[in-house]
Every structure is written in C-alpha cells, then in structure tokens.
Amino acid sequence: MAIRKWLDRSQPLAGAPGARSIDVGPNDWRQVALDVAASDGRLHALWTEGADRTAAQAVYAGDDFLLLVTLPLARDEATYPGLSDIFQTASRMQRAAADLTGVRALDTDARPWLRHAAWPADYRPLAAGEPVAAGELRADDYAFVRVGGDGVHEIPVGPVHAGIIEPGHFRFSVVGEKVLRLEERLGYVHKGIERLFARTRLTDGHRLAARVSGDSTVAYSWAYCQALEGLAGMQVPARALWLRALALEAERIANHLGDLGALGNDAGFAFGLAQLSRLKEIWLRATEAALGRRYLNDFVVPGGVAVDAEPERIAELAACVRSIAADAQVVRDIFDEHAGVRDRFVATGIVTPELAVQLGLVGLAARASGQDRDLRVDLPCAPYDELAVRKAVRNDGDVAARVAVRFDELAESVRLVGAIAAQLPSGGTRADVAVPAAGATGIGAVESWRGPVLVGLRAGEDGMIGRCHPHDPSWQNWPALEYAIIGNIVPDFPLINKSFNLSYSGHDL
C-alpha cells in the first residue's frame, strides 16, 4: 500500500499499540494524506501548536497502525497546506485549530468555529501571551450556506434548546416537510480545556481528561494515562488493566441502556424508556457498589486505578449484568415486533456504507454503516488482546441499524464483564509513574462507547503538560448527521440525532 513507505520511515511512538510518528515537510504533509486515503486509511485527529513551538499535527489510522505526522513550521509561518479536499472531516478540525493557535490551514473554509465572542477576535488561547482588555465582544457574523429556490425556507433551532441539553445551533433548509440541507454550528460550550491542560501537571492531567466529555470519562482518562505511561516507560499492573477494561465496559453498558431507552421515547414508545431507564439505574448502583462510583470519574489514574474491587462485589456485578441482559433482550424483542417503533426506525436517517467511507465515520455509527473497525480488536491494548471482542456490524445505516448495533454491543459488553470477572488477576492496582523528559511525545487511543477517543500528549518543562489535545469521535460523526437528515422530515431529527448521540462538550475544546 502507498502508506507503507511512510510507515517504514517512521519511528515507534509511546502510548497506544501500533503508534508511530514521522516529521515531514510541507510537500510531504499532503502526500502522506493522499497516500493514507489511497490505502483506505482515515484521518483520526488534527491539531496545531502555536506557543513554544509552531507545528501542525495529524494522526492517521489504518487497520494496523496509528501514525502521528508532524509538520514543523517557522515561528513567523502561521499557515500550512489544508487537507479538507482529501478528508472532509479535516475542515472543522482545521478551523478550530486556527481559533485556538492562529495557525491556519490554506483551505477554502476559513470561518471561525469556537470563538463565539468568548475572547477578543485577535487573541489565540494557545498562542503566547494573554488577551488584551477589550470593550464589548461582538459575535462573528457567521455565514451559513443558503439554499435558494421556490418554496425553500429556513428553520433555525438553538443554540438554546428546551430541556436539559447542551447548546448547538442547527439551521434547516426545508421544502414542505422535507429537509434539503442541515448546517450545524457548535462550539457554544467552550470550556478552555486545551488551555487548562497547559496549566496542569502531567500527573494531574487525567482528572481534566476525564471531564472532556462526561459520558466517556473512563475512555478519556485511560487514553490520557496510556500516553503518559508510555512516555514514562512504565508497566501498569495486570490487575489494574483488567479493572480498567471492566470500567470501560461498565461505561459502555450504561450509555447504551440510556440511549436505547431515549430512542424508544423519541419513537413515541415510553414503555421502552421506562424499562431501560430502570435497568440503567440498577446498573449504576451495581457499578457504584463494585467500583466506588456511579459514573467512574477519576477511577483511572496514572499507573493503574484509584481503588481495588472486592471479589464478592465483582461477582455481584457479573450477576447483576446477566440479569440486566435478560430484561434488555425482552425489550429488544418488543422493539423488533412493535409496528410503530419499526415504522420510525427503519429507513430513517440513512448513512450508506459508501457515504460512511467518504465522511470517515467512526465508532458505533460507522459499524451500523458497514465499517468493520473497533480499536478493541484492531489495535487492542491489554487486556483486550486476550478477550477476543466480537464486533457488531450492520449495513443498512439507518436508525434501526444503529439501534441493533447498540443492542449487540450491549450483549457483548455483558459477556466481557463476565469474562473479566472470571479472569481478573491478583496483584497490585497501581504503580509509580516517573515524570517524562520535556519534549517527549505520545498518544493514547481507546475505543469508547461512541467510538475511538484519542489523546495527543507532549511533556513540558518542570513536570507540566506542554500540549495535550483530546479528540472525540464526534468530530468525525457530526458532519454525517447533516447528511443523515436529508430527505427526512424535521420531526425525525430528534430521533436521528439521538441514534448518533454525539458529544457537544467533547467537540468543544
């Protein structure tokens, strides 16, 4: 494959299994991207640096590798070749990077993405210096793409929504009841995560990573710790790794139960919401009893896990999940047989396998559109290399397929919890982590319930973080939602949206 010449020139990279790195010049920056695309690889993440060094960085993923490509730039050289014509998903990443560092891609779409008048227009949070005091901060005049023609009208929704939901703006262009186009604008929940990382010690960064997106706290903290532990060159105790996997599957189960219930509710079937919400609450209580937390914030820590689990509690957790699985299967059978639910799910919000490839779709949404990729299988870290995870794949790409993948993954996570409980090794649960040398770089990658989470980490001076970029799978999947709604009616949007259930917070750094 075309990408092999770059892999042969690359060097092993600390952290995630299969990770490698290579520095390139401006011409090779695009050539690597072209060769990755020609080899059926995909763009995993893209970010820039603009403080103590200037560079553009991208991580590409293939079946057996993660490749970090770095393009060093001169201090006064604040541009680099854009990639959105090769990987469509690069556009928003490049725009967000420009807002944060001032390092801009030479691409056609230069609209702002994150600022929303949160800081002065000429300030870059990840570049050197502090913002100059300004008067009234004005919002950018954001140029939405307009759709013309007879009978076309726009429906603006958000960013503030009814109910408890994070903010996001959705601009629908509609004829009659059919959606012609949807354009999203996100970034309203800007928390300054990446700037906060630059003020955090390496040994404390896992706590901030765990809060990038609260529904994926185990995945993010594990990915961060994986990168840090790789930089430190240390071995995590086996029991701690198995407990991390147990926590990750617990997180997957909780999210799938909650979302499947909400999908039933969005289809007008409140019984599904009631039953699956009941099962989720039972599971959260059992998780707290076994692992000390309902949502497992700060359970994964550098060198291992924060607390051990008593054998009898682990056995109770395994018994609980088997009971939940039996009840969830009953609800699934009802979903499959209920004419009203099937009418709402089938052929709604379709993302074809061909479109999934074009958009670089990842995670459960990709697997519902025929993309057979899961880091737990393709690039497994311990203990997943011993657990033989079975991938859940469907080809129809509609809401029904995404629901089916969730139920399949729920059943597989139940099996994995049982296997982990039965094979959990003895021994310690935490080891000391040495502070890595300044400038050392690594990446962590973990398959969250939503898809692959990645953390790029560079050590700074005096034990501080030099740069940390957390990447959520929602970056790849939000654009797909714009395509999934086309041809559907506006009232189907909440159902289609929930079938993806993408993160606003994880998308906003």
Q: Are 438 and 459 in contact (CB under 8 A)?
A: yes
CA–CA dist 85, 62 (Å, integer):
19
Q: Which residue has the tokens 């949007």?
A: 493
Question: Quick one: which H or E segment has residue 459?
Answer: strand 452-459
In the β-sheet with 42-50, what is the strand arrangement from edge to edge? 11-12, 19-23, 66-72, 54-61, 42-50
Note the pLDDT of residue 53: 84
As a whole number of angstroms, the distance between CA 357 and CA 371 comes to: 8
The structure tokens listed for 501 are 């259930």
- Burial of 452 (C-beta count, 10 Å sphere; 0-12/13-18/19+): buried
Residue keyed to tokens 């695309």: 37
The one-letter amino acid at 52: D
Tokens 């949070």 locate to 125
Q: Which fold has domain 4-106?
A: Beta Polymerase; domain 2 (3.30.460)
* CATH 1.10.645.10 domain extents, the chain: 193-503
Q: Which residues pair with 82 in a beta bridge?
A: none
Round to whole Å and give the CA distance between 316 and 417.
Answer: 11
Residue 59, φ and ψ in degrees, nearest 5: -115, 125
Helix, strand, coil content of the chain in percent (nearest 5): 45, 20, 40
Looking from the CA of 322 toward its CB, the CA atoms found within 13 Å total 9
Answering whether pTM is above 0.85, one says: yes
Report the alpha-carbon distance of residue 61 to residue 80 in Å, rounded. Answer: 21
Q: What is the helix (H) or strand (E) element at residue 11, kind and residue range?
A: strand 11-12
pLDDT at residue 110, rounded to an integer: 87
Give 119-128's long-range contacts (Cβ < 8 A, gap of 24+): 124/50, 124/99, 124/100, 125/100, 125/192, 125/194, 125/195, 126/49, 126/50, 126/51, 126/100, 126/101, 126/194, 126/195, 126/198, 126/467, 127/50, 127/51, 127/101, 127/102, 128/50, 128/51, 128/52
First to last CA, the chain: 35
Tell me which H or E stretch contains 477.
helix 474-484
379: left (phi over 0), alpha (psi -120 to 50) or beta: beta
- H/E run at residue 449: none
- Whether residue 383 is preceded by a cis peptide bond, meaning omega within 30 degrees of 0, is yes
CB 396 within 8 A of CB 350: yes
pLDDT value for 132: 66
What is the CATH topology of the domain spanning 193-503? Cytochrome-c3 Hydrogenase; chain B (1.10.645)
HEC string for 240-271: HHHHHHHHHHHHHHHHHHHHHHHHHHHCCCHH
In the prediction, which pLDDT does 386 show? Answer: 97
- Residue in the block written with tokens 């039965």: 422
Query: What was the pLDDT predicted at 51?
Result: 75
Continuous H helices in 14-72: 26-38
The pLDDT tens digits along the chain (509 residues) read 789 999 999 999 999 999 999 999 999 999 999 999 999 999 999 999 987 789 999 999 999 999 999 999 987 778 999 999 999 999 999 999 999 999 999 998 989 898 888 888 888 999 877 766 666 777 778 889 888 888 899 999 989 887 778 899 999 999 998 999 999 999 988 889 999 999 999 999 999 999 999 999 999 999 999 999 999 999 999 999 999 999 999 999 999 999 999 999 999 999 999 999 999 999 999 999 999 999 999 999 999 999 999 999 999 999 999 999 999 999 999 999 999 999 999 999 999 999 999 999 999 999 999 999 999 999 999 999 999 999 999 999 999 999 999 999 999 999 999 999 999 999 999 999 999 999 999 999 999 999 999 999 999 999 999 999 999 999 999 999 999 999 999 999 999 999 999 999 998 88
Q: How far is CA 107 from CA 79, 81, 85, 95, 483, in A?
A: 10, 7, 9, 9, 22
Distance CA 419, CA 243 (A): 12
- CB contact at 8 A, 209 and 201: no
How far apart, in whole angstroms, are the C-alpha atoms of residue 388 and residue 399?
Answer: 27
Give residues with Cβ within 8 angstroms of 351, minimum separation 6.
359, 361, 365, 368, 369, 397, 480, 483, 484
398-411 burial: b if 16+ Cβ within 10 Å, else e: bbbbbbbbbbbbbb
Every domain of the chain with CATH number 3.30.460.80 lies at: 4-106
Residue 105's alpha-carbon distances to 96, 100, 153, in angstroms, are 10, 13, 33
The confidence score (pLDDT) of residue 137 equals 78
